């Protein structure tokens, strides 16, 4: 059974043109775990959705709830400027790419500069949430081990 968030993840995968394996690797998710998440009746976990949103700079609310646009930046600065900005980042801020952004797309540059602080803050929040979710997973695993240990003790007592 495919959930709505799973459908949006598949739409994003199609949009970026990556295989399931490459998509998962870019998000820092094991491909086998990602495959299981895609097939899960519960849908993809919030932790995975956060990783996906961060890896592809996607609007998390769109990914999780279908609210807003897939790429918030496209709405703010336009597709051409968004593409030029990504080219600049990919080219490690080469002077040619900087001229594309700062020359013909001055207004787009202003928008990018105005949102840089917000993006950095969101990235920090995502990282903090990812760490908290990882700690939660460790605690759950530890509790499951303790439960299994206690079950073993109970079984030994019942056998006596």
Contact 10, 37 (CB under 8 A): no
Domain spans in the chain, listed from the N-terminal domain onward: 1-70
pLDDT tens sequence across 60-79: 889 888 888 888 654 444 55
pTM for the structure as a whole: 0.46
The conformational region for residue 67 under phi > 0 = left, psi -120 to 50 = alpha, else beta, is beta
1-70: CATH, from 1.10.260.40, 1.10.3720.10, 2.40.50.320, 3.30.70.100: 1.10.260.40
Contact 54, 123 (CB under 8 A): yes
Burial class (CB in 10 A: 0-12, 13-18, 19+), 81: buried
Average pLDDT of the residues of the chain: 77
pLDDT tens sequence across 97-148: 444 444 444 455 555 555 666 676 677 778 878 888 888 888 888 888 888 8
Closest by CA position to 76, among listed 118, 125, 14: 118
């Amino acid at each position: 059974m495919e959930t709505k968030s799973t459908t949006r993840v598949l739409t994003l995968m199609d949009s970026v043109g990556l295989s399931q394996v490459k998509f998962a690797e870019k998000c820092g998710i094991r491909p086998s775990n990602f495959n299981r998440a895609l097939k899960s009746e519960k849908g993809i976990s919030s932790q995975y959705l956060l990783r996906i949103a961060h890896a592809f700079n996607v609007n998390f609310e769109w990914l999780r709830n279908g609210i807003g646009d897939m790429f918030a930046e496209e709405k703010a600065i336009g597709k051409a400027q968004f593409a030029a900005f990504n080219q600049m980042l990919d080219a490690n801020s080469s002077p040619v790419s900087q001229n594309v952004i700062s020359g013909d797309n001055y207004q787009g540059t202003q928008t990018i500069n105005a949102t840089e602080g917000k993006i950095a803050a969101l990235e920090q929040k995502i990282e903090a949430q990812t760490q908290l979710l990882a700690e939660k997973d460790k605690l759950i695993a530890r509790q499951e081990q303790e439960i299994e240990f206690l079950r073993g003790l109970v079984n030994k007592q019942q056998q006596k």
